[in-house]
Amino acid sequence: MRTEIVVPLLIRDRTEADLPGCGWSGSRLHLEHVAQELRRDDAEYLVACAARSGLPVGKGLIDYRKTPGAGTNGQLAVHPALQSCGIGTELMRAAEERIRARSLPHAELGVEAGNPRARALYERLGYTAYGSEPDGWDEEAPDGSIRRYETTCVLMRKPVT
Ligand SMILES: CC(C)(COP(=O)(O)OP(=O)(O)OC[C@H]1O[C@@H](n2cnc3c(N)ncnc32)[C@H](O)[C@@H]1OP(=O)(O)O)[C@@H](O)C(=O)NCCC(=O)NCCS
């Protein structure tokens, strides 16, 4: 049987109290990094939550330090069970509103060269590529070991004012 239900979602600022409900989004190491991001005063972290339970099903960071005059979107992810339902799009729109509210002219982001579906989403939202740069971060394996992951990101930009 196939059925459809409407689930009200709320997009709000992420807090440390959300972290125990975000195990789906990454490793213990990732959540430690998120806890540090939450203490920054030059970044905002949004979550999309099921309005009734308050549990997060999507999240995204806006970094105001990386590029002067722009808000840089990052760490966008939606719970695997709820991808392709429009939640990522709504999170991006909410992030652009935050950037606009600071009177910044551009929203930016970096997407891995090997992530064409995410890039397609950003292009649909009006972002255009203007360059690329190497990027890298530490990753935690299931056995707890840490390794450096190196990649190349396509840089994309969209005017928001
Ligand atoms: C990318 C992502 C945040 C989009 O959120 P979403 O709620 O699925 O997006 P929406 O439903 O608003 O839009 C759907 C579009 O997002 C992209 N998308 C959907 N699932 C995706 C996935 N597993 N991985 C990458 N992109 C995906 C596609 O362009 C998709 O369009 P399609 O369904 O026609 O292929 C989400 O899919 C995700 O968490 N992916 C894994 C993590 C990731 O790749 N993050 C992006 C880092 S730059």
Six-digit token string for 92: 């991006």
Q: 95: CA distance to ligand 1 center in Å?
A: 16
Alpha carbon distance 123, 24 (integer Å): 26
CA distances from 108 to 25, 31, 46, 123 (A): 22, 23, 16, 12
- Nearest residue CA, atom 44 of ligand 1? 118
- Nearest residue CA, atom 38 of ligand 1? 77
Confidence band, pLDDT 50/70/90 cuts, at residue 161: confident
Each residue of 128-137: pLDDT tens digit? 999 999 999 9
Atom nearest to 92 CA in ligand 1: 12
Identify the burial level of 68 via C-beta atoms within 10 angstroms of its C-beta, where 0-12 means exposed, 13-18 middle and 19 or more buried.
exposed
- The domain segmentation of the chain, as residue ranges, is 9-159
| 9-159 to CATH, choices 3.30.420.40, 3.30.360.10, 3.40.630.30, 3.30.230.10 | 3.40.630.30
Whether 33 shows a pLDDT value over 90: the answer reads yes
Q: 39: CA distance to ligand 1 center in Å?
A: 27
What is the residue-averaged pLDDT of the chain? Answer: 97
pTM above 0.85, yes or no: yes
Residues 81-85, mean pLDDT to the nearest whole number: 97
Q: 118: CA distance to ligand 1 center in Å?
A: 5
Alpha carbon distance 155, 133 (integer Å): 7
3-class DSSP state of 37:
helix
Reported as type and span, the H/E element at residue 117 is helix 116-124
